[in-house]
Amino acid sequence: MGMITREDLERLHAYEVKPDSPVLSLYLTVDRSQMRNARHQMETILKQLLRSIEGELEEREKEAFREDAGRVEAFLSEYEPQAPSLVIFCDASEDFFWARALSIPLRNLARWDTLVYLRPLLEALDEYERFGVVLTDKTRSRLFTVFLGEIREEREAFAPARVRHIKTTGTDHIWSQKRIQRQSETHALWHLKQVAGELDRLTNRYAFDRLILAGPVEATSELYRLLPKRLRSRVAGTLSLPVEATPQEVLAEALKVEQAVERSAEITLVEELLTAAAKQDRATQGVVPTLQALQEGRIWQLVYAHDLALRGAVCTHCTALLPQGEEACPYCGQQLEVVEDLVERMVARVLEQGGRVEEVHGIAAQNLQKAGGIGAFLRF
């Protein structure tokens, strides 16, 4: 199935759904550690998602829904997952079927609606930066692009390495050794200068958000020194790797850098959130004020710690989400029902309202936990 391309998205975006023929949009993700069992896991998730949609349909809609669902189930029964996520859009009656595997985690979700539900996909793509990895030593250079957890070697990026052969001839052996050494050092510097010069062009050509410098330490530190300032600011990290490293080896190391970049962005996000909330500047912290803002439809971005588990309640009449401990719905006075997965429900509702969600990890999550584990930036 391969990577998602811009053309893919444009085609999906342009797809016109018939008003009386809804499309089934599905996002399925399994844990990376469970890849061996991935298809079975995906089938289980699919079953649950389909059941919850079907439960809310009117009788006359069910036949069309089952047709779409059946097509997806048939596809999945023959599918061999190579990546943890799978996105499917299907309208069987219009013979419309689109599926792609993704290496990034997505939220499990299903919609049966008169639109191709692209939002989670677009957001995921938006969130992931494109990394360029330049792997270089004193004589050779290779370029890789890393996007959405996948790597590609850009073989045409650098002209074939121009290796200068220096013959060891001459009678004065020591003199000649020194001369060779000097020549080869000059050559290495010349080579790295070429690379540094090329990187400007390559950064534009391959549209990198970030750069990773990889190779033996002497080469990467020299290359960093030679980079123009505007490129230095894009360097996300350096990796100590041999120039012959395989793309998979480069990817494994590059993903660690990418994660470190994300973690530090999350720390900044939580800092901004807590500062804004303290100033009451269109932000909340803690579950009660955040639920209130959600009820008022004001959440622009929900931020929560990944290990946050909260119980709460939902109003059986107006569906308001509430913290634990309320007797009756404060909005309509009706009965409440306990919910075990309050965070999941808040997330779903924010997405329904057109807001964004950000799950934070590590230190950012710890900092947020001290402030109730959840908060939000508000629209107004």
- The residues, any chain, with a CB within 8 Å of residue 250's CB and separated by 6 or more, are 133, 135, 144, 151, 214, 239, 241
Tokens for 76, please give them: 């999945």
Whether the CB-CB separation of 286 and 375 falls below 8 Å is answered with: yes
CB of 98 to Zn ion, least distance (A): 39
User: Interacting stretch for Zn ion, rule CB under 5 A, among 29-37, 87-95, 109-117, 314-322?
Assistant: 314-322
Side chain identity at residue 232, one-letter code: R
Establish if 166 lies at the interface with Zn ion (CB under 5 A).
Answer: no
Whether the CB-CB separation of 287 and 303 falls below 8 Å is answered with: no
Question: Which lies closer to Zn ion via its Cβ, residue 183 or residue 316?
Answer: 316
Whether the CB-CB separation of 154 and 144 falls below 8 Å is answered with: yes
Angle between helices 217-226 and 173-205 (to 10 degrees): 60
Question: Which lies closer to Zn ion via its Cβ, residue 251 or residue 287?
Answer: 287
Helix residue spans in 206-333 (DSSP H): 217-226, 229-232, 247-278, 287-295
- CA 42 to CA 77: how far, in whole Å? 10
Establish if 316 lies at the interface with Zn ion (CB under 5 A).
Answer: no
CB of 322 to Zn ion, least distance (A): 8
Tokens for 341, please give them: 């997965």
Number of residues that bind Zn ion (CB under 5 A): 8
- The neighbouring-strand residues paired with 301 are 356, 377
222 to 281, contacts with Zn ion by CB under 5 A? none
Question: Which lies closer to Zn ion via its Cβ, residue 226 or residue 314?
Answer: 314
CB of 291 to Zn ion, least distance (A): 13
Residue pointed to by tokens 């692209």: 118
Side chain identity at residue 103, one-letter code: S
Question: Which lies closer to Zn ion via its Cβ, residue 293 or residue 329?
Answer: 329
Among 318, 340, 344, 354, binds Zn ion (CB under 5 A): 318
User: Interacting stretch for Zn ion, rule CB under 5 A, among 99-107, 307-315, 338-346, 348-356?
Assistant: 307-315
Whether the CB-CB separation of 374 and 302 falls below 8 Å is answered with: yes
CB of 317 to Zn ion, least distance (A): 5
326 to 365, contacts with Zn ion by CB under 5 A? 329, 331-332, 334
Residue pointed to by tokens 């947020």: 368
Establish if 320 lies at the interface with Zn ion (CB under 5 A).
Answer: yes
CB of 220 to Zn ion, least distance (A): 60
CB of 324 to Zn ion, least distance (A): 16
Question: Which lies closer to Zn ion via its Cβ, residue 221 or residue 335?
Answer: 335
Among 315, 342, 347, 357, binds Zn ion (CB under 5 A): 315
CB of 111 to Zn ion, least distance (A): 25
Binding residues (CB under 5 A) for Zn ion: these are: 315, 317-318, 320, 329, 331-332, 334
